[in-house]
Amino acid sequence: MHLHARPTTTGRDPLGLLLLLHLLAAVAAPLLVRWWGRQAFLALALVPGAAFGWVLTRLGTVTGGGEVTETLSWIPALDLQIALRLDALALTFAALVTGVGAMVLVYCARYFEPDDEGIGRFAGVMTAFAGSMLGLVLADDVLVLYVFWELTTVFSFLLIGGSGAKLAGRRAASQALLLTTAGGLAMLVGLLMVSWSSGSRLLSEIVVDPGSGPVLVAGTMLVLAGAVTKSAMVPFHFWLPAAMEAPTPVSAYLHAAAMVKAGIYLVARLAPGLADVPGWRPVVLGLGVATMLIGGWRSLRQNDLKLLLAFSTVSQLGFLITMVGAGSEELAAAGLAMTIAHALSKSTLFLSVGVIDHATGVRDLRLLSGLGRRMPALAVIATLAAASLVGLPPFLGFVGKEAAFTALWEGGVPDRLTAVVVLVGLVLGSVFTAAYCARYLWGAFARKPELPDTAPEELEHHPGPLFLAAPAVLALAGLVAGPASPLLDHLVVVYAETLPLIAPEAEHLALWHGLQPALALSAVTLLGGAALFALRAGFSRLQHRLAVGASADEGYWNTLQALDRFAVLVTGTTQRGSLPTYLGTILVVVLLVPGSVLLARTPWPDEWRAWDTPLQALVGAVVLVAAVLTIRIRQRLSAVLAVGVTGYGLALLFVLHGAPDLALTQFLVETLSLVVFVLVLRKLPKDIGDRHRPAERTVRAVIAVCVGLVMAGVGAAALSARTTPPVSEEIPRLALEEGHGQNVVNVILVDIRAWDTLGELSVLVVAATGVASLVFLRSRTGAVDRVGEDQAAGGGGDARRAPRRQWLSASDTLAPQRRSVVLEVATRFLFHTIVVLSLFLLFSGHNDPGGGFAGGLVAALALVLRYLAGGRYELGEAAPVPPGLLLGGGLLLAGGTGAAALVLGGQVLESAYLEADLPVLGHASLPTALFFDIGVYLIVVGLVLDILRSLGAELDRQDDEDDPADAAPDEVIAR
């Protein structure tokens, strides 16, 4: 394993600011496009352009052997940090990402039409992708690297799919997402294994000392799996040509200069430490050469200019990963030079295709003729880019290819035979490169005798200077970089020297090294490519004869279809619609896995105590009897009531254990659960059907008893297994000193573990939305039915009789047989008292039993009482507020409390206190946790109101429509 010293850090700059600027620009992009139209792309280009300029200012630091670092705190409790590092390798890729990104955004200002839809969304996603790609190459922590890696995958999916209107775009986007995400997950596991082997999460430390052993080998292979899927290596290459459904700027940036380079970057980043790991070189070199040959072969068969460039990109990616992954100093330097050359030339060629498509509406090279005369400037630009890709002097592509051929000729790979095989493969792949570049130029710009010239009237949009500016700048950069390669050598050699020198000596990048074998090999590639192009007709027939019926793309879709069929088979076999079967399967697994471990390996307590007081035994006996009655009772309502007894028994146990807050909450939850059960049971038969044989009931009883015994054993074992002081011993002090509250339970919910509570509140909001969506048949607006609204909608000015004295506002809307005067009177007297009690529990919960959750449940029970007494219209009168407003407002208030704590100098969701001396009240202290509790209160009320409207009022409305005879007199008159 080759080890090297890590360069000393000589700078510390705000690298995170560059990422933040991209984020802000992405958020502002839709608004800027709405204000300025497509000209907004010019403003957005300033962000990556400024980042490009800043990166270049650090060139001196990096070429001097230093690096720029920044570490931002992410999750201190888990020791997670956002570690960013700019060294020679990161600077090379960062310059490509930002420089090409700025040019592509300038290009977009003329590529899109002023009236095109969705360009605001496109601008935001494109800018966000540029920031994510920059974060990927700057990340030093493996977890941060993975986050940015997946962000590029998501943004690529959005850019390829576009608006989703085209089926081909959706298929291509989903294909790219599935493959790159699967590779990314494999890479994550691999990075974690490599980090474990190294003992560090920082890439800069992993490559210095990666460790050894089978864990490192397995992790390395998984990392390579992520790299090869991202960079479209064989056999995962097919997603890249399919992604050509995306607009041309996406193809030029993501699929030529940025996203597909992520795998190349990862291999180059880890090669100094992992190149000697068993399996690394066979995978990298084998897949690289195979990809170059297959991509070049397929490129020569394409007639669509974008597809031709797509397969050529696949081919060149194979070339690049072979060089940067070989694990030698000389090939690494050539690989970085070729990476820069490829990004510049291939993005130029893609942008040129966009200009052609924009002007003619045609990309088929068989239909274009004489376009070079119509657009000579574009023809010159494309020719310059193709010349660099082929490797003609004095372009940078020539410099990089010469360096690669020289390194392999002199044995730049440890095994000489491997070096020869790789060299032959790369030379043959370069012959394909010359051939498809010639075919591209001929197809796009040449005059074809068998075709009429592209008529002037077909050029709907003649390219202007700004449209050609981006490809012209990128093409000229490839031309200028060739003679300036000695200056570029100062950058690439800093990275290359982290790898071992395998050849006798490494040659520096230069335009001319004299007459060497590499020069002859370059000539062979050019002559071979020219010959293939000249014999293109015969070569095309040969390709058709050798064509294989199967393809990787077809294999992918066949695999997905097979998975779909298998999923249907498994679902049809296991999902029979029997809830007892599902539950029984789960419980049997519990018995087999945790139960067997419990019996075999768990230490049991030395002392057993059945109860602390006989009252606990009495309550336990009542709960046990109620549980037995539940399975014996044949009426659903009676069974639900028996289940309720078990819940109330648990609340009594809380009381006996001195937990009044928990007991209060359990009582309220159990009561509300009973109400919900009753509302649901209205739609079910009265009696429970018994369709099971005695043997089945016996099996279920045995499973139930065994699971009960296992869970009791788990509880006993957990209580006896403690070896350290419990955390709960410290919580009362923290609740009083930090949370300023004596109610430990409430302080935990709104302060100590407020993040957990906020997550649970979010789940409650989602659950309420889901329940209501399953019940409502019509569009769900959130409105509640109030007296007179339904009647007025039914027509007739006399629908409502003259008002009269009544106990409840809407009691007259109920049919006489459904009314209860006693319940109405009791509701009239108790409703406001219950609401006041709920507010008392809300405001006193910080020091006494109560809180937002308990108070909300009490207020919800008041609404339940109004509904049961007066029906759905009475519910509307009691709470004329859309439940969605309560749910959303409560969640916003609870979440906003975190921001308030920050403003007041605390941490997110940490309680802060507003203290003041009031004239009459004296010293007053107002905690921000109170507002969090109010948010909880509103969410609970909104949740129950939504349940009452969906399982109660909406079902009532449907019943009234199905059976008008049960409707109230007023409703019949209205109809």
Residue 355 · residue 303 · CB < 8 Å: no
Q: What is the pLDDT of residue 3?
A: 40
pLDDT of residue 149: 96
Contact assessment for residue 407 and residue 489, using Cβ atoms and an 8 Å cutoff:
no
3-class DSSP state for residue 687?
Answer: strand
pLDDT tens for each residue of 827-866:
888 888 999 999 999 888 888 888 888 999 999 888 888 8
What is the mean predicted confidence (pLDDT) over 310-335?
93
CA-wise closest residue to 427 among 308, 515, 517: 517
- Across the range 507-524, mean pLDDT stands at 83
Pick 725 or 702 by higher pLDDT: 702
Helix (H, G, I), strand (E, B) or coil at 927: strand
Give me the pLDDT at residue 461, please: 61
Secondary structure (3-state) at 739: coil
Encode pLDDT of 879-888 as tens digits.
888 888 888 8
pLDDT above 50 (res 10): no
Structure tokens at 764: 């409650």
Residues facing 710 on adjacent strands: none
Round to whole Å and give the CA distance between 285 and 364. Answer: 34
Contact 154, 183 (CB under 8 A): no
Query: b/e string for 884-922 if b means 16 or more Cβ within 10 A?
Result: bebbbbbbebbbebbebbeeeeeeebbbbeeeeeeeeee
Average pLDDT on 469-482 reads 94
What is the pLDDT, as a whole number, of residue 696? 78
Average pLDDT, the chain: 85
CA dist., res. 516 & res. 562, Å (int): 54
Higher pLDDT among residues 942 and 104, named by residue = 104
Over 50: is that where the pLDDT of 799 sits?
no
Q: The tokens of 593 are what? A: 């896995």
313-322, 435-444, 596-605, 708-717: least confidently modelled range: 596-605
Length of the chain: 975
pLDDT band, very low/low/confident/very high, at 601 (cuts 50, 70, 90): confident
Q: Give the pLDDT of residue 775.
A: 64
How many CA within 13 A on the CB side of residue 220?
30
Mean pLDDT of 956-974: 55
C-alpha distances in angstroms, 885 versus 264, 361, 840, 898?
50, 50, 23, 20
Tell how many helices (H) and how many strands (E) occur in the chain. Answer: 40, 4
Angle (CA) 420 422 428, round 5°: 105
Top mean pLDDT of 74-83, 326-335, 676-685 is at 326-335
Banded pLDDT at 201 (limits 50, 70, 90): very high
Q: Which of the 8 DSSP states describes residue 364?
A: B
pTM comes to 0.74
CB 392 within 8 A of CB 486: no
Percent of the chain with pLDDT over 70: 90
Q: 427-446 pLDDT, tens per residue?
A: 999 999 999 999 999 999 99
Helix axes 142-161, 261-274, angle to 10 degrees: 160
* Cα of 754 vs its chain's centroid, Å: 24
Residue type, 429: G
Quote the CA–CA distance of 89 and 497 in Å, as a whole number: 11
So what's the pLDDT on residue 690? 66
Rounded Cα–Cα distance for residues 531 and 525 (Å): 10
d(CA 841, CA 850): 5
Contacts of 571 (CB under 8 A, 6+ apart): none
CB count in 10 Å sphere of residue 925? 9
Pick 659 or 966 by higher pLDDT: 659
Q: Is the distance from CB of 365 to CB of 456 less than 8 angstroms?
A: no
DSSP sequence for 695-725: HHHHHHHHHHHHHHHHHHHHHHHHHH---S-
Per-residue confidence at 643, pLDDT binned at 50, 70, 90?
Answer: confident
CA atoms within 13 Å, Cβ hemisphere of 539: 19
Q: Are 669 and 944 in contact (CB under 8 A)?
A: no
DSSP 950: I
pLDDT of residue 782 exceeding 60, the answer is: no
C-alpha 58/C-alpha 53 separation (Å) is 9
